[in-house]
Amino acid sequence: MEDRYFQTADRYVESLYETDADLERVNEAIRQHGMPEISVAPGYGRLLTMLVRLSGANRLLEIGALGGYSGICLARGLNGGGKLLSLELKEEFASVAKENLTAAGFGDVVEYRIGEALDSLERLGEEGAAFDFFFIDADKGNYVNYLDWAIRLAAPGALIVGDNALLHGKTMDPEAKGNSVAVVREFNKRIATDPRLESTILPAYDGLCIARVK
């Protein structure tokens, strides 16, 4: 009953909003290229835009570009002069994302680094980079590592947002096993209890963690 309630609530909320042409273009490109259809939920995409805008963040780091859906949502929140750095494992995915952000008018604010995200994060650390906003939506087995790096690279007051906190219910199911499930459970616990963070976890769609670095 509870699962049906949340699914119905999600559908109801989305029915209130008009179709977004830029994001529909992303979804179509993802289908045409045979990419996984796992972009951030529309409601959380809108929330990303709001969080970037409200926080005034202008140095954004995205871990996992896919087709550019979340990238567009993040870039929309920039108040002028900001930049988005997106880390993507696959060059072909980054190419699709770049095309979609360019079509949406954000081609000049985004940069992509291709390869293993942990390698890119290591280089960013060596470069002394710092960011105001992090969006984590990549391989779940490294979520705790990505959180560690986000805290390390965070400017004071930076926001850290992580998608798929519920893993389609697996993180709540005591019978669910596997490395990704265990890591995301630990990620959620760290978000909730790490003394360096103040946070909340939203249970709609597939769950979203939001934390502010103190």
Q: Say what the pLDDT of residue 8 is.
A: 84
Check if the beta carbon of residue 147 is closer than 8 Å to that of residue 188.
no
Q: Name beta bridge partners: 110.
A: 84
- Tokens matching residue 19: 């179709």
Question: How far is it, in rounded angstroms, from Cα 121 to Cα 129?
Answer: 9
Q: Say what the pLDDT of residue 134 is.
A: 98
Q: Say what the pLDDT of residue 15 is.
A: 93
Q: Say what the pLDDT of residue 177 is.
A: 95
Q: Say what the pLDDT of residue 81 is.
A: 87
- Tokens matching residue 117: 């995200």
What's this model's pTM, rounded to 2 decimal places? 0.95
pLDDT, averaged per 10 consecutive residues of the chain (214 residues), comes to 66 94 98 97 98 98 98 96 97 98 98 98 98 98 98 98 97 96 98 98 96 98
Q: Say what the pLDDT of residue 165 is.
A: 98
Q: Say what the pLDDT of residue 1 is.
A: 42
Largest CA distance in the chain: 50
Query: How wide is the angle at C-alpha 100 spanned by C-alphas 96 and 106, nearest 5°?
Result: 130
Question: How far is it, in rounded angstroms, from Cα 68 to Cα 39?
Answer: 8
